[in-house]
Amino acid sequence: MMREDRNAPPLVVFDLDGTLVDTAPDLIGTLDVIFERHGIPRLSYEDARNMVGGGARKLIERGLAAERCPVPAAPLDRLVQEFIAHYAAHIADRSRPFPGLDAALDALAVVGCHFAVCTNKLEWLARRLLDALGLTGRFVAICGGDTFGMQKPHPEVLRRTIACAGVAGLPVMVGDSITDVSMARAAKTPVIAVAYGYTEIAPQELGADRVIEALAELPEAIFDLVGRIAQPEVS
């Protein structure tokens, strides 16, 4: 892994669903289609929204558990395959970047920051989504739940994403859930939580170094956090 240079602009590693892009409309829409196809009751949008972020299998499992509808392993595999096929075809029907994303990335890029994506979404789906939204070129690395054979919150996922980025700046993780915060903590990486994402735990209770209400606050939060880490107060 490249040695970190605390004087270099930071590497900002983003979660995808619920942090960069509001993907819930298309993910939940797909879940509704698959559940209806198999006679499984649909979840309310509000309940399903906070189940997003762990990948397709986890979303289906959580949805089934919420409806108290256990499914054996083989049918679950089939549900996952159907989900992915439908979702891939409708990946950006209604999914859109959260407000302020372009401006926040521009403000960070102008001072030399680099960006990466670390998500539990399958890598090819993450790339397809970012391609559809015209965002792929923003990132030096895009790593998914199948890229390394392990998923968040395993800290090695973040470490390997940072290595794939191949830049020297101090990394900072930005995410919306306990999965992101736990991974960053285990990887000894500073972490910022967004308050608008998909989480069943209050954002202020996730244990992040900073919580921001909107992406407009991200540049200031990153420079404040990195500055405090790079130049600790001397007593």
Residue type present at position 128: R
Q: Is 5 a catalytic residue?
A: no
C-alpha–C-alpha distance, residues 74 and 114, integer Å: 42
Among residues 5, 15, 47, 180, the one annotated as catalytic is 15
Residue type present at position 80: V
Q: Which residue, 78, 90, 82, 92, is CA-closest to 20?
A: 92
> Is 105:133 a contact under the CB 8 Å cutoff?
no
> Is 139:36 a contact under the CB 8 Å cutoff?
no
Element (H, E) at 200: none
> Is 108:4 a contact under the CB 8 Å cutoff?
no
Residues known to be catalytic:
15
